[in-house]
Amino acid sequence: MSTHQYVVTAHKPTAVTACVTGNFTSPTDLNLILAKNNRLEFYVVTPEGLRALKEICIYGKVCVMKFFRPKNEKKDLLFILTARYNAMILEAIGEGDNLEIKTKAHGNVADKIGKPSETGILAIIDPEARAIGLRLYDGLFKIIPLERDCVELKATSIRMEEIQIRDMEFLHGCPLPTVILIHEDHNGRHIKTHEISLKDKEFVKTPWKQDNIDSDASLIIPVPEPCGGAIIVGQETILYHDGSKYIAVTPPVIKQSTMSCYARVDADGGRYLLGDMSGKLMLLLLEKEEKMDGAVVVKDLKIEVLGEISIPECITYLDNGVVFVGSRLGDSQLIKLNTKPVTKNSYLSVMETFTNLAPITDMVVVDLEKQGQGQLVTCSGAFKEGSLRIIRNGIGIQELASIDLHGIKGMWPLKMGLSKEFDNTLVLSFVQQTRVLSLNGDEVSETEIAGFQSDCQTFFCGNVSHNQVLQITSHSARLVATDTKELIYQWKPPTEKNISVVASNKVQILCATGNDLYYLEIGDKIIDQKAHTVLVNEVACLDISLLEPGTERASIAAVGLWSDISARVLKLPSLEELNKEFLGGEIIPRSILVACFDGINYLLCALGDGSMYYFILNKETGVMTDKKRVTLGTQPTVLRTFGSNASSTNVFACSDRPTVIYSSNHKLVFSNVNLKEVNHMCSLHAEAYPASLALCTDSTMTFGTIDEIQKLHIRTVPLGESPRRIAYQESSQTFGVVTMRLDVMRANGLQIARSSASTMAVNTSSSAAAVFKGGVASMPALDIGQETEVHNLLVVDQHTFEVHHCHQLMPSEYAISLVSARLGDDPRTYYIVGTALVNPEESEPKAGRIVVFLFEDGKLTQVSEKEIKGACYSLIEFNGKLLAAINSTVRLFEWTNERELRLECSHFNNIIALFLKAKGDFILVGDLMRSMTLLQYKTMEGNFEEIARDFHPNWMTAVEIIDDDTFLGGENSFNLFVCQKDSAATADEDRQQMIECGLFHVGDMVNVFRHGSLTMQHVFETSVPTHGCILYGTVNGSIGLVTQVPQEFYEFLSALQSRLVTAIKSVGKIDHSFWRSFNNEVKMEPSENFIDGDLIESFLDLPRETMQKVCTGLQRDATGSGTKQDVTVDELVKIVEDLTRIH
Amino acid sequence: MSASDFLKGLPSYNESNFTKYHNDGGIRSSAKRPSVYLPTVDHPSDQIIVTEKTNILLRYLHQQWDKKSHHKKRDHLNLETIDEAGSRKRPRLDNGSAGSSSANPPAAGNSSNDARQ
């Protein structure tokens, strides 16, 4: 039982909430800045595209981000306002690697009282940079004068008559800063302007206003000079108003959706890009004319659709027709605008997409390959951007071609003939046979090399010095000319024994026959035997890889031996033994390799059981230190180096769990490869397959490219509709996914608006509209053109992600929960969906269903249904029964022999029971607004007992059980908290009350918690005593994890954290303690019993001298002896590295 | 006018930007992130944003007060020049300077009184 938590982000937020373009890092740099929740990403536009500069963590959720340029300045400054009202002005100083972000001004602009506006925070900056205007609370307008010579910028509130403000902006070209706003009252929406006196801090007059504009107007676009004025975009009309006159147009194209964002294209405000909520990109053109007096006025407004983009949250024009589209609901994009249509009706082409998991509405952790490593499948995105994302720690292979070939025992690429750059031949070794493939373009054909011995297995093959090819078989080492392909020299071992193990580079060969080891050198048309030695045991594996690039000869060799299970380092050319290391155990080494990663030499030795030892190797003395063991698979492992790029070494470990080994931050990283098994592999650089790998399994050979080293691998399965819930069913090898699509009412009835996963399923079925006791499931009365939600259960193949079956629910029936469960003695596993019949007139649903489906033989059939009196928010399997949260109740259903659900017992003490989790007999209930409750099911009595409750008014978004006594909750002000039940308390009252024993502001809304891990468990010898792992998914697309740490380690991390808080300066000067403090509408309390893992892990990115500073005086009682000892920098690096390996 | 005409002459700040962009025929998909910036040097900020703590109503009343007294001053000046006008503003002036004991205070005394408010 632990009440100390370590929380860390495994995948940073990906939803783009704001984007701006300006000259930030220098007067000539064109910068793009993206805001992703609490992180900013800085890019610079280059001829090659966007170049990433820096990512910055802000201690707050970025609400508004805007560039502005003070008068006579050549660079832009960045204004940021966070959700907790921290304002800051940032400036870039220095360039390139010396780039620093300076906080020019900062402060908190919150008021003690005031009603936070329902339409969110609005912040605007005067185009002449005289003032910043904020609307944080209803009825108040706050002004920050941008005086340059004052040390204090005094933010002052002004009373504003208009309460409900939809949007506001500063107008251009006004003698005094002038605000234009859209406000709403019971008559409709209106626009109004206010002139501000910065001296008196008040609105001095209303230069102009216009009542009763478009009833859904929500976007103001201020127009720069010479025209001035503003464009107001509504649902049906676009209005231009310059104070004295207006022009309104009602183009039909804007009616279908609501315009959500815009980007100015021309500096003079001639053209604007508009994006709407359906993902349409439009161009708005202001037609201007010059009057007799020289004044330029707007004559007309024209709008054209340019094409479809990701549903945009923000748009910004970069340069030369390239536009960045930031999205919250789908992948962000870089698009190019073309003057000629690219396809019919589309003038844009997508250049690049940026993976986005947001919003994660649900997820499951599954181990599909049964490799002991979880992968996440998330319900991501919404509407047309809806998708499933498969997130896996590992590396991806993109398959280019594959050939069916059985029993490959080894493969090597060759350059034959005149080819200098590309490999054109592939040698494949089989038992008793060697075959040669010729690669001609993408044609692969079998060929022969006359000088090769082809009736036996090849142990090694490769291009060597003097334009020769070396083939080593069990009988001999053969030199073959690359041009004539004829044999030119042959070396045979002096004894009758067959060659058993070999290793070679371009000029050196090591050849073993049993205990005998020969060292050979390759000359022109000759192989010279230079040394011979007899080892204590038979040789199991050999390596003479080069440790330094550019050198020709290896100065050491690595040998693994049978019987004594040792790894030895021999000196070349003498074969004198430098050092040996006994590996222990009885499993023989199968593959040994010396390699240099990041300037550090390693010796890797893989054993027959899939485990691997690795050492740091001194290549002069042969001394092996820092012995470590890692489990890579369960089968004999073969280690091969390959080049993903020239500068770094990568090792491919072929086994039943193929792994790529590389170095990051001077530590070895082991990444899974998304392939089931690989027996052998080699690099291949052929004309048709450049920079590729050839990989073989028992039956297939594949050519493919390897992804750039990346920890989390994300695969996208587009659905084209909103996924809401997901469940995994192992027995049928499928995922159940609840989705929602929007259908449109047409003259001939409800029609599918666009094809998506549910409309393209192999099989379909539906619940007929029916009247039943609980309520009426009828078609809502819809006007033509109106959209309505259609809910479906999809059954998706776990391998192909093909939709096997789609079951459509009744009209106005919303599917809100899903579980895959086995009930009672019934051996089958069912998909069970909980629904609600939604009637817009009712405050909460009064009827719903629990529907039980069976997926068998590719078809989904309904087995049973149960009418319920409300919405079924959550369903879980509970000891062979079904537990459901229905409106304010928690109900337990039994599965009868007649295959029907029968109510057993209920619990009533909730407002709305939204979330359920169970462990043993205990049930954790998350309530809409009354935090968490723990129930116990009494088997004997057949009822629920309320054990304990958290009495704080937390509005829950997710709950999870940590252990029998400890519970984790996420609430809607972006906080996490931990509660504990106190079973030892003597008083009943104390026992019934949960103790809040952990508080943390995570800064993002957690939608789902799941037990599970993304990394292989217990693979590493770790120095960090973490326990358990709960993953969470958020609205902004980040994935994090919460793990438990013991008291001693918590105190140590706590000390490290407080040192890092001082060492790492906060951009925007927001205190770390403020950022992580639990904060909602009712209280603010300091973070407690939580460690900020993101801050801890940033230790690894610090320069060495800062690490040293942080480390000085830090002590730890690692052994539990009660005495604390100083921690060295290296120890600390190792601890933090081990912490990073849990995700 | 068609969309093609609309899109002519899009702004260019640096003609070479995006000219060497390669996406190898397909759409490039990117999940890469820039390196993390970890400042260890503290740059003192030039300015501090402070929120005026005064209650908005109090500030409004103060403002009104200031305005009134400002008016008063101006009225006094007016009074001195057009002294005999028998202005109806005089009673209000008296009410306004309620703290003053003198029924008809001299101009100078009144303004110093205001300064103290």
At A367-392, the pLDDT tens digits run 876 656 788 999 999 999 999 999 98
> CB B47 to CB A153 under 8 A?
yes
pTM: 0.81
pLDDT: which is higher, A699 or A179 = A179
Phi-psi region of A654 (alpha: psi -120 to 50; beta: other; left: phi over 0): beta
On the question of pLDDT at A839 being above 70, the answer is yes
CA distance A1071 to A38: 14
> CB B15 to CB A320 under 8 A?
yes
Lowest mean pLDDT among A141-150, A764-773, A1110-1119: A764-773
DSSP lists the bridge partners of residue A247 as A240
Please name the member of B3, B13, B28 whose beta carbon is closest to the beta carbon of A283: B3
B19 and chain A in contact, CB less than 8 A: yes
On the question of pLDDT at A1047 being above 90, the answer is yes
CA distance A617 to A580: 11
Q: How far is CA A1050 from CA A523, A977, A1026, in A?
A: 62, 16, 10
Chain A contact set for B19 (CB, 8 A): 47, 320
Annotate A1036-1048 with b (16+ C-beta within 10 A) or e (fewer).
bbbbbbbbbbeeb
Q: By the 8 A CB rule, do A351 and A334 touch?
A: yes
Provide the shortest C-alpha distance from residue B111 to chain A (in Å).
Answer: 21
On the question of pLDDT at A157 being above 60, the answer is yes
Chain A contact set for B65 (CB, 8 A): none
pLDDT at B86: 45
pLDDT at A421: 85
Q: DSSP letter string over A180-217?
A: EEEEEETTEEEEEEEEEETTTTEEEE---EE-S--TT-
Cis preceding linkage at A175, omega within 30:
no
- As a three-state string, the secondary structure of A31-50 is EEEEEECCEEEEEEEECCEE
pLDDT at A524: 93
Q: Kindly report the CA angle at A328 between A41 and A976, in degrees rounded to 5?
A: 85
Considering only the C-alpha atoms of chain B, give the largest distance between any 2 of them, rounded to a whole number of Å: 92
Token pair for A753: 């608006």
Q: What percent of chain A has pLDDT over 90?
A: 78
CA distance A235 to A255: 6
DSSP lists the bridge partners of residue A238 as A233, A249
B28 and chain A in contact, CB less than 8 A: yes
Per DSSP, the three-state class of A595 is strand
The candidate with the shortest Cα–Cα distance to A967, out of A5, A184, A242, is: A5
Chain A contact set for B42 (CB, 8 A): 1065
Please name the member of B21, B32, B63 whose beta carbon is closest to the beta carbon of A48: B21
> CB A57 to CB B36 under 8 A?
yes
**H or E element that contains A851:** strand A848-856
On the question of pLDDT at A1022 being above 70, the answer is no
Provide the shortest C-alpha distance from residue B9 to chain A (in Å).
Answer: 9
On the question of pLDDT at A776 being above 60, the answer is no
User: What contacts A247, CB < 8 A, 6 or more positions away?
Assistant: A239, A240, A298, A299, A300, A301
User: What contacts A603, CB < 8 A, 6 or more positions away?
Assistant: A558, A567, A569, A592, A593, A594, A614, A615, A617, A624
- As a three-state string, the secondary structure of A489-501 is EEECCCCCCCCCE
pLDDT at A778: 59
Best B2, B23, B24, B51 member to test A by mutation, with max A CBs in 10 Å, is B51
Phi-psi region of A1023 (alpha: psi -120 to 50; beta: other; left: phi over 0): alpha
Chain A contact set for B29 (CB, 8 A): 331, 352-355
The mean pLDDT of A27-44, rounded to a whole number, is 96
Provide the shortest C-alpha distance from residue A859 to chain B (in Å).
Answer: 35
Q: By the 8 A CB rule, do A422 and A1044 touch?
A: no
pLDDT at B30: 67
> CB A107 to CB B29 under 8 A?
no
Provide the shortest C-alpha distance from residue B80 to chain A (in Å).
Answer: 28
Q: What is the pLDDT of residues A860-899, one digit of tens each?
A: 999 999 999 999 999 999 999 999 999 999 999 999 999 9
CA distance A1095 to A9: 10
pLDDT: which is higher, A367 or A221 = A221
B10 and chain A in contact, CB less than 8 A: yes
CA distance A1078 to A763: 49
Q: By the 8 A CB rule, do A1076 and A29 touch?
A: no
pLDDT at A633: 80
Please name the member of A265, A347, A1101 whose beta carbon is closest to the beta carbon of B11: A265
Amino acid symbol at A159: R
pLDDT at B100: 41
Provide the shortest C-alpha distance from residue A353 to chain B (in Å).
Answer: 5
CA distance A9 to A1093: 7
CA distance A242 to A271: 17
On the question of pLDDT at A321 being above 60, the answer is yes
The mean pLDDT of A456-463, rounded to a whole number, is 94
What is the pLDDT of chain A when averaged over all its residues?
A: 92
Q: How many CB atoms lie within 10 A of CB A713?
A: 19
Amino acid symbol at A357: L
Please name the member of A41, A318, A1102 whose beta carbon is closest to the beta carbon of B38: A1102
Please identify every stretch of chain B with a pLDDT value under 50, giving residue numbers as ranges: 79-117
Q: What is the pLDDT of residues A518-538, one digit of tens each?
A: 999 999 999 999 999 999 999
**H or E element that contains A56:** strand A49-57
Among all residues of chain B, which has the CA nearest to that of A322?
A: B18
3-state percent helix, strand, coil for chain B, nearest multiple of 5:
45, 10, 50
On the question of pLDDT at A113 being above 50, the answer is yes
pLDDT: which is higher, A385 or A843 = A385
Measure CA of the first residue to CA of the last residue in chain A; give whole Å. 22
Q: What Rg do the C-alpha atoms of chain B give, in angstroms?
A: 34
Q: By the 8 A CB rule, do A155 and B52 touch?
A: yes
On the question of pLDDT at A441 being above 60, the answer is yes
On the question of pLDDT at A927 being above 60, the answer is yes
Q: How many CB atoms lie within 10 A of CB A55?
A: 17
User: What contacts A959, CB < 8 A, 6 or more positions away?
Assistant: A915, A917, A924, A925, A926, A932, A967, A968, A969, A970, A1009
A282-289 long-range contacts, CB within 8 A, separation 24+: A282/A253, A282/A254, A282/A306, A283/B3, A283/B6, A283/B7, A284/A231, A284/A238, A285/B1, A285/B6, A286/A223, A286/A227, A286/A231, A286/A240, A288/A227
CA distance A24 to A32: 9
Could you tell me the pLDDT band of residue A769, with boundaries at 50, 70 and 90?
low
CA distance A837 to A782: 17
Provide the shortest C-alpha distance from residue B53 to chain A (in Å).
Answer: 8
Token pair for A1101: 């990115």
Chain B contact set for A154 (CB, 8 A): 50-52
